Amino acid sequence: MVSNTVKLLGVSGSLRNLRHGKGSDILVEEINQIHTREHLIEYLSSQAQICLSSFIEAGRKDNKSFDKILKNLKRLPGVNGLSNSEVLLVAGLWAAKQNNVEIEHVSLSDIFGNEKNAKEKIYSFLNKIKEANGILVSGPVYFGDRGSLTHDFLQLLRVNSKLVKDKVFAGITVGAKRNGGQETTLIYQMLDFINIGMLAVGNDAESTAQYGGTGHAGDVGDIAKDYYGINTAIGTGNRISNVLKMINSTKDTALKKKPKIGIIVLQDKNNKVLNYVKKTIINSYLSKVADFRLLYLVNESIKSCIACDICPTEVDDDRIYRCIIKSKKDVFSSIHEEMIDFDAILIGGFSPENYESLKSVYQKFMERTRYLRRSDYLLSNYLVVPLIFKDVNSRENLETRIITSMIRHHTIIYSPIIFNELDNRLINFEKAIGDLEQFVEMAKKIAVGRIKYNATALEYEHYNPVGYTLSSAKDKDFTTIQKRKTAMNKRRVRFKQMLTRRVIYNG
């Protein structure tokens, strides 16, 4: 029997936090009492206002210095008000709660902020982490990166990584400037959390399907006016909770056959990757556990995206290739069907120190996937992992770029699999193969979850053209809406058939 309880732990990385101690439990109770978005906005606004008045009362009105104000704030019982990044954490947790996910809240300042009972606090925190299925971290941007509390949290997990292995991570950040580093912070922390074994997701399709929640607020209480930021935080809570539920739904099920895993190679030098992939993956014992499909695109022609105002050209069945570029010489139309039929994707290639004789279609490939994203997230919930054969001296950051581009396809990101090469020899073969084996296990699970989700729970992962006026207008067109509904139904039917054909129930 599948347990329906899925737990999301919300972690506040704010140094200016107002909730601490029993304030965390009270906060969860308060969130549980909010049932509409309007009520949420009202609540967030009043909590931000309380934050501002507490700050004034704690000494700003008497022109006290900030260290004194902070001391006074910390003396408060911690049951009222929310700092900027706390506000967005609540927005994310509220969305998760609306999706029937159980929520918990911890303020990192309670754990790392003072010496008193430090060991006991850490012990109880680790237990909470152990019980949680996913972690949602919200904190301020400090110097374009996380603050020290979030960093302490990461350090704690780095030495307790077993507790979070294969669990899901998502992030929210708030910065004083419009582009003060919200995205860099989200990206750095996402990379760090996946590198301790977690899976990462961003925010949902209803918001912007990017790296997570991005708030714009500097002064105490400012965040209440940032509706865009609140929306991305709600989107992050939605995204992580839906993925948690999807994974939980796979407990008593399995794929009947091996998962179909696409290996998309976009960069190579003298066929190194081609040979490595054939030898170490396709023609190895690994082919017993997965059905690997190689898309070696290095020698293919890929034209640049021409940035159409209306993309894709038509709203239609997922199986139909709908990018405007139809040239026979261009490889996309011939790989489209295969690509949307994978269960998971390994994507990358060779990353060199010396670029001489490197062939790369990487950037063109990536920009051309735009039509897949805009076809209501055709790659939604694919498990994606960068697969890099890397000269140890390479400084290309290919794995990071793959992650930051592919997460926008509403995917689930797995820690990069990197084969390091030195003097034409792979020097970490065992480790990388071990990572690959673990990835295959996760791919099986996510594949079942994705099939079940698309067959039974798929609502409407509608591409929301934020920033594109022309597309927005076309999207509201009556026939477009009807066509989208039909296309979505066809997607559902395709996955229903897949569910019968490919998934078994063990329970």
Ligand X SMILES: Cc1cc2nc3c(=O)[nH]c(=O)nc-3n(C[C@H](O)[C@H](O)[C@H](O)COP(=O)(O)O)c2cc1C
Query: What is d(CA 377, CA 34) in angstroms, rounded to the nearest whole number?
Result: 30
Contact range with ligand X by CB under 6 A, out of 95-103, 138-146, 375-383, 480-488: 138-146
C-alpha closest to that of 103 among 142, 126, 136, 74: 136
| Amino acid at residue number 185 | T
For ligand X, the binding residue among 142, 276, 382, 439 (CB under 6 A) is 142
Through-space distance between the first and last CA atoms of the chain, rounded to whole angstroms: 6
Q: How far is CA 119 from the centre of its chain?
A: 32
Residues 64 to 93 in contact with ligand X, rule: CB under 6 A: 83-86
Quick one: tokens of 238?
A: 């939605």
Least gap, CB of 61 to ligand X (angstroms)? 19
Q: Which is nearer to ligand X, 144 or 465 (CB)?
A: 144
Least gap, CB of 397 to ligand X (angstroms)? 21
Quick one: tokens of 383?
A: 């498990």
Q: Under DSSP, is residue 42 helix (H, G, I), strand (E, B) or coil?
A: helix
- Burial code of 99-122, b = ≥16 C-beta within 10 A, e = fewer? bebbbbbbbbbbbbbeeeeeeebe
Q: Which is nearer to ligand X, 216 or 245 (CB)?
A: 216
To 10 degrees, the CA torsion angle through 504, 383, 93, 100? -10
Q: Which is nearer to ligand X, 213 or 416 (CB)?
A: 213
| Cβ atoms within 10 Å of 478's Cβ, excluding its own | 7
Least gap, CB of 223 to ligand X (angstroms)? 7
Contact range with ligand X by CB under 6 A, out of 171-179, 276-284, 399-407, 435-443: 171-179
Least gap, CB of 466 to ligand X (angstroms)? 21
Least gap, CB of 176 to ligand X (angstroms)? 4
Residues 7 to 26 in contact with ligand X, rule: CB under 6 A: 14-16
Q: Which is nearer to ligand X, 35 or 177 (CB)?
A: 177
Query: What is d(CA 459, CA 455) in angstroms, rounded to the nearest whole number?
Result: 10
Least gap, CB of 180 to ligand X (angstroms)? 2
Tokens 């695109």: give the residue.
297
Least gap, CB of 185 to ligand X (angstroms)? 8
| Cβ atoms within 10 Å of 160's Cβ, excluding its own | 15
Per-residue binding string, ligand X, 174-213, x by CB under 6 A, is xxxx--xx--------------------------------
Q: Which residues bind ligand X (CB under 6 A)?
A: 14-16, 83-86, 140-144, 174-177, 180-181, 217-218
